[in-house]
Structure 1
Amino acid sequence: MTQLFYTQYYIPGVIATIVVVGFELSHLINNPVMYSTQTVRWMILFVFVALLLFDKRKYINFEQLRFVLLLGFITSTGYGLLKDIFHPAEFFHADAIARFAGGAGDPNNFGLLCLLLIFFYLPSVPKQPIKASQLVIVAGLLGAGALTVSRSFFLVSFFSLFLYFLLYFRAALGEIFFRALFGLSLAILAGIFVLLSGAMEHVNLDIMSRFDTDNLSDLTGARSDIAKEYFKMYLAQEPDFMLLGAGINGYLGYYNYYFGVDKIFEEVVGPHNTFLEMLVSVGIIGSFLFTYFVYAGFKAEKIRTQNFTFYRLSYLPIIVFLLYCLSLQNLGKYSSYFIVMMIIYNTYRKA
């Protein structure tokens, strides 16, 4: 608390924080669902992250926060493993696939944390030596992420790590091509050997079955259907709800009430898309306010670090987060703002 009163803050960021919190609380007027302890918790944690983000002196550095995040991830993984051992999930459908979520509550959230931690620990400067400890951490995180059997994790991890590989060795593309071609040849030979040996008959690759469909609804786990209904309901709202939204902590109750009336969904469903969530929760005006809040965060960190030299590797966590926003709703999750803060810190770190 002493640090809170004696430090210096980036004033435009503080103003943006006050405006965003005030905007969210204004939804109390039109949406009674907002009257809950969830709104209070969201406000406290949002303000806490904002104070860390806009603190000019930064008494907690990126390396310390990164280590805390890693410890939290390890704890979450351990909790999830113990839970699966002593209280395994019961499936009532023969084709159901067991998916690991740790303590995150959602496999995609768990996968997102895996990938972000990987890039937080890998060098952000091309061809900077990668320590053995970093490789061990990356291997462990990839192994934990694979347990999610998440399409998003496998697609985003393949794309982002391939992009990291290209940018990390950008001065030696010819050598990269040769190594990649050699590695691909070995992988093909190994694959042929495994197929001929009949080993695949005894292996059940759940992740492959999750891609085995020609239907968009099945491929997205019905997320495309849910998104379509959310957008249709949004367009049917009064102009004030389209401009202002129903509140980050109120849109679920508001929209699902009408879904229930129209008998569209039998249970409470979220949009599973952060961009759509932003539209229905804070509307067009609130979307601009949140965009400015994030911009102010980047601006504040740039001024504080005076780091004007950027490498493209620093942008990979941003790309990963934005790709995951297509399958996750983040605004109502308290951890999302901490993640955004870590991404901003990572963008301006010098190693």
Structure 2
Amino acid sequence: MRFKASIQNISTFTKLTASLNSLGPLAWVKLSEEQVCFTIIPEQGTQVWAVLSIDAIFATISVQSAANNVINLEVPLTSLNRALKSALNATSAHIRLTKNDKLPILALTIVTTTASNTYSAFPAAHTGPASHEDGFDASFDNDIGGGNRETIVTHEIPVRVLAPDTVAHLHEPACREPDVHILLPPLMQLKSISDRFTKLALADTKSSTAATATTSRTRLEVAANMHGCLKISIRSDAMSISSIWTDLNNPELDPGHVAGGEHGIAEHPSTRMKQLGTADGRSDQGWAVVSIDGRDWGKVMSVGRLGGRVIACFCHEHALILYVYLPNDNGDDESVLTYFISSYSA
């Protein structure tokens, strides 16, 4: 079993792991020479199924295994993200699967170049695979001429190799056809407003003498229609506030991707919803609504740091699915992060 790759988009890789780490400490990483998949399945909260093209992160990759050249790993995201942060200013970075004391690790080797008259200190301590902390395996300074010095540092990230049978039963949640699909405004804008609503609701809860532990979760109501409207609301006994966006885009369905083609589109739930509601958002009809945890939603919105377009699919009172498309250098959307957010029961 072998895996090694050179990293070309360290910034994207770092932002991705930071975003995923906010939703869960461990990721199932599926490696092949065609794509890299990151999956987060927490006991509670949002599931993430990310499928990335190789060139979204890596320049070159080699994957070899007895299981059709596919390797499945359980990776601690905090350790991986910390190691990647140290590589942001590197001139090159490589990652490979190896062993330390017969235990599997991901070894991230970074090369940095500094002026020879600049002192740079790297701790030479080694953190063993028994803990989920990354450590420095080695540090070497090489004079490469021209007044520059090259420093090589390797981080060791403990991982667990997963047998194919262990992950064979894991699949994306099944959802019905969405009632509404809409292109979201910038996620960091949504996050700012959602976080403000959540803080207001928490302050209201703490000030209430009737507050109990069960009210510590703040429910946001997120709704959209097929006329380009999106609304985020929060309600309590003391307040009711909302923000609404209009003139957003409802992407057209592709007959080639809908069962029944043109006839399937005519019978699609979103087509029926489009016959209801208005473009100014004032009508009570034609809205698909989900109730979600405010704090969890704020964590999901952190994926906005990656950029790209986000299409939200609303299954009324059931689930919200976000498709985050990451553009490649050639302009194609070949990588997608899928977020499954369950709605609270009505």
Q: Give the TM-score band, short-chain normalised.
A: under 0.3
Q: Hey, which of these two has a bigger chunk of helix by percent?
A: 1
User: What's the TM-score, normalizing by structure 2?
Assistant: 0.28
User: What's the TM-score, normalizing by structure 1?
Assistant: 0.27
